[in-house]
Structure 1
Amino acid sequence: METATVEAPKTGTDQLKTTKQHFEILDGLRGIAAIVVVIFHFLEIVYTDYSKNFAGHGFLAVDFFFCLSGFVIAYAYDDRIEKMGTGKFFRARLIRLHPLVVLGSVLGLLSFLFDPFAAAAPAYSAGKIALIFLMSILVIPFPVMEDRFFNLFGMNAPAWSLFWEYVANIVYGIILWRLDKRILLGLAVVAAACLAYAGHSAGNVMGGWGKDTFWHGAARISFSFLAGMLVYRYHFIIKNKLGFTGLTVLLLAALLMPWFKLNWLAEVLVVVFYFPLLIALGAGSRLSPRMEGICNFSGKISYPLYMTHYAVMFAFLHYYQQNKPDMATISWIVICGLIVLMAFAYLVMVFYDTPVRKYFSDKWK
């Protein structure tokens, strides 16, 4: 395949810098990854041995998110952040990300207080619950809930990746956008080595969500965000005819792959080589008209789904521990739960996230 842009006759550089096209397929792939994350979180409660979980590598979706974020941020801001200023850049990112951080925390608090299958709330004082909730709202890691496996954010576990996303955005706004691509490449090589070390020491690259593997999250965001930036900076856009369906299959091949003897190495290779390649393919592929609606829906619900779904996970954990349902029941719970959570994410997008972001964007324009 040749490295090219989506539309001729412009060159790769001209296309990327002048038209600011929207990469619908990449949006759609983000939605597919978010769906796999939900399935993974359901099933990791059932299968504590991840090798028996068919979605046992679903957590790699977060690394795909990080890589996609690096590409999108560089694409959207590299050529205008100097003019707009870092302050406006940070404001734009805050408006984009934080409304769902707040809602996810609120839903997590409600789930914690009113879980029908557990009585966790009485074990904590009102002051401690308020402090945990405040830390979640402010995206400040506070891993103090032993009964929630010392997640960095006990009220909404997936917020750990948003913490690192904020860190990456801050570093980008201060320095990364200024650096030559060769320097970024050198930093990415160092980050890849750190990721490999983290993966080897833990046996996987799953870390970053809890206090014991906090710095593994730094390795994951450092490499993948830089890799995404490098896909843009080197204009590594591969023209192809795979489309949304073909690229979905390729993404699922990584997220649903089996476990291997050298599992950590397989995961590192996927993150370091395969995901940047998928971003390059996704940016260079054409979206067929019949897939536009599916791709658009998938992309729009991706972030709301990711940030709101965990409110039900601890309730499901407590239900599972109490009732020990059979696999047929679990299958129905996962399928129906996924459908309900996707519908809820769509409603959140329509009635909360989009209006709130529009309000603050208009207010601060």
Structure 2
Amino acid sequence: MKSLTLPILQSRQHFPVLDGLRGVAALAIVIFHFMEIVFTDFTQNIIGHGFLAVDFFFCLSGFVIGYAYDNRLEEMGILEFFKSRIIRLHPLVLFGSVLGLFAFLFDPFGGQPFIFSTGKIILLFISSALLIPFPAMEERAFNLFGLNAPSWSLFWEYVANIFYAFILARLHRKYLVILAIIAAILLGVVAYRAGSLMGGWAGDNFWDGGARIFYSFIAGLLVYRFKWTIKNNLGFFGLSILLSLAFLMPFFSYSWLAELAVVLFYFPLIIALGVGTKVHERLIGLCHFSGKISYPLYMTHYSAIWMFNHYYSTYKPQGKELSLLIIAGVMVLLCLAYLTMVWYDLPVRKYLSRKRIKSDLPK
């Protein structure tokens, strides 16, 4: 048996700017979720296309998985691949579920936990912790994961990882192109039928999430497989602006077509630019930090969004008060994400990694 202390399990070098852009996308998601509470009409929401950050995550994930595992999956084995992904992803799935449960039970601004039986609350928590879709909360628009809504994208991330391990990792890139074309057509059908690419998070749009990750994950994988790199001097700030433009894109009659173009072409282009750009040494630390905090921020923020929703519905803050409330909310969530990263996510992953290596050592 090969020792897991070998470099086969070590992470490859990161791309600093792509790490940084992950944080920009996570921050856009948080702001979008605050703003959609205030502006139920998305045409009035300045960051109304913030939900496209999830498609960017999916595309980036395809690139990163290909870069990290294409050349070593066969040697490390599928089981070790799954262990790596679970250690990387699931601690925050669990933490987000616990946080969501406590916020649901003890929301100081509203909510009605008393209308649920203990058994149903237990089922909601178990489904959230195990990433089993359970759209059973009508007052939360039948989210697939009522206690922690963002987990819907993690469900599809796990599905994509399974397909990668058993199929995509061994698939020649010409067949991967064919799959990408099929996925693009399906995504186009979804965008046209729904009038948007916002679906995937609830029971009635469940399969939209599959279409979103089907294309984007493969597109990111193709960027890596074809070594699509565009040399440029845009750097972290330049590419952050370009990425943010997709989220700030206004709505119009054919917004679904614009969203489709962004996902099909623009996000893979951003990743190719991110691979080929230069970053100033002083910004490398910022980019790494942005990348590290992005996942904790994404997986811990939504409990506060529900609280904000109840507060906003009750007290109707407006103007300066509302602006300060949202800014303060974002800052608090950034602090929470940082504390979660430092005190929970990193220590737990290090502990699990040590246990994994120790269990493989000769007895």
Distance in 2 separating the partners of 1:272 and 1:305: 26
Residues 149, 263 of structure 1: alpha-carbon distance in 2 compared, 3 angstrom cutoff: same
Matched-pair contact (CA < 8 Å) for 2:111–2:310: no
Distance in 2 separating the partners of 1:93 and 1:166: 8
Matched, 1:252 2:259: no
Alignment counterpart, residue 199 of structure 2, candidates 207, 214, 223: 207
1:143-180 Cα deviation digits (max 9, x unpaired)? 00000100000000000000000000011011110000
Aligned match of 2:72: 80
Aligned match of 2:220: 228
Aligned match of 2:261: 269
Unaligned runs of at least 5 residues, structure 2? 1-10, 358-363
Distance in 2 separating the partners of 1:225 and 1:90: 17
Matched, 1:116 2:108: yes
Matched-pair contact (CA < 8 Å) for 1:237–1:280: yes
Per-residue deviation at 1:297?
1.8
1:202-238 Cα deviation digits (max 9, x unpaired)? 1100000001110000000000000000000000011
Distance in 2 separating the partners of 1:287 and 1:343: 26
Per-residue deviation at 1:349?
0.7
Q: How many residues end up aligned between the 2 structures?
A: 347
Matched, 1:339 2:331: yes
Alignment counterpart, residue 60 of structure 1, candidates 37, 43, 52: 52
Alignment counterpart, residue 138 of structure 2, candidates 118, 140, 146: 146
- The TM-score, its normalising length taken from structure 2, stands at 0.94
Matched-pair contact (CA < 8 Å) for 1:260–1:266: no
Per-residue deviation at 1:69?
0.2
Aligned match of 1:313: 305
Matched, 1:326 2:322: no
Q: Aligned runs of 1:99-138 on 2, under 5 Å?
A: 99-138=91-130
Distance in 2 separating the partners of 1:22 and 1:170: 23
Q: Secondary structure at the match of 1:238?
A: coil
Distance in 2 separating the partners of 1:327 and 1:125: 39
Per-residue deviation at 1:20?
4.1
Matched, 1:189 2:189: no
Distance in 2 separating the partners of 1:229 and 1:120: 43
Q: Secondary structure at the match of 1:260?
A: coil
Aligned match of 1:11: none
Aligned match of 2:87: 95
Range moving further from structure 2, 115-124 or 300-309: 115-124
The residue type equivalent to 2:232 in the other structure is: N
Range moving further from structure 2, 218-227 or 313-322: 313-322
Distance in 1 separating the partners of 2:145 and 2:202: 8
Distance in 1 separating the partners of 2:174 and 2:325: 49
Matched-pair contact (CA < 8 Å) for 1:133–1:155: yes
Q: Secondary structure at the match of 1:205?
A: coil
1:78-137 Cα deviation digits (max 9, x unpaired)? 010001000000010000000000000000000000011114110001110001000000
The residue type equivalent to 2:355 in the other structure is: K
Distance in 2 separating the partners of 1:337 and 1:324: 16
Matched-pair contact (CA < 8 Å) for 2:143–2:203: yes
- The TM-score, its normalising length taken from structure 1, stands at 0.94
Q: Secondary structure at the match of 2:128?
A: helix
Matched, 1:161 2:150: no
Distance in 2 separating the partners of 1:71 and 1:247: 17
Aligned match of 1:358: 350
Distance in 2 separating the partners of 1:81 and 1:294: 30
Distance in 1 separating the partners of 2:111 and 2:76: 50
The residue type equivalent to 1:257 in the other structure is: M
Q: Secondary structure at the match of 1:252?
A: helix
Distance in 2 separating the partners of 1:147 and 1:269: 33
Aligned match of 1:32: 24
Q: Secondary structure at the match of 2:301?
A: helix
Distance in 1 separating the partners of 2:257 and 2:111: 41
Unaligned runs of at least 5 residues, structure 1? 1-18
Distance in 1 separating the partners of 2:209 and 2:314: 32
Taking only aligned residues, the RMSD between alpha carbons, in angstroms, comes to: 1.0
Alignment counterpart, residue 169 of structure 2, candidates 177, 183, 196: 177
Distance in 1 separating the partners of 2:43 and 2:281: 38
Matched-pair contact (CA < 8 Å) for 1:70–1:226: yes
Distance in 2 separating the partners of 1:292 and 1:230: 26
Q: Secondary structure at the match of 1:237?
A: coil
Matched-pair contact (CA < 8 Å) for 1:191–1:219: yes
Distance in 2 separating the partners of 1:217 and 1:47: 23
Aligned match of 2:280: 288
Matched-pair contact (CA < 8 Å) for 2:144–2:203: yes
The residue type equivalent to 2:24 in the other structure is: I
Distance in 2 separating the partners of 1:22 and 1:214: 32
Identity among equivalent pairs (%): 60
Matched-pair contact (CA < 8 Å) for 2:219–2:268: yes
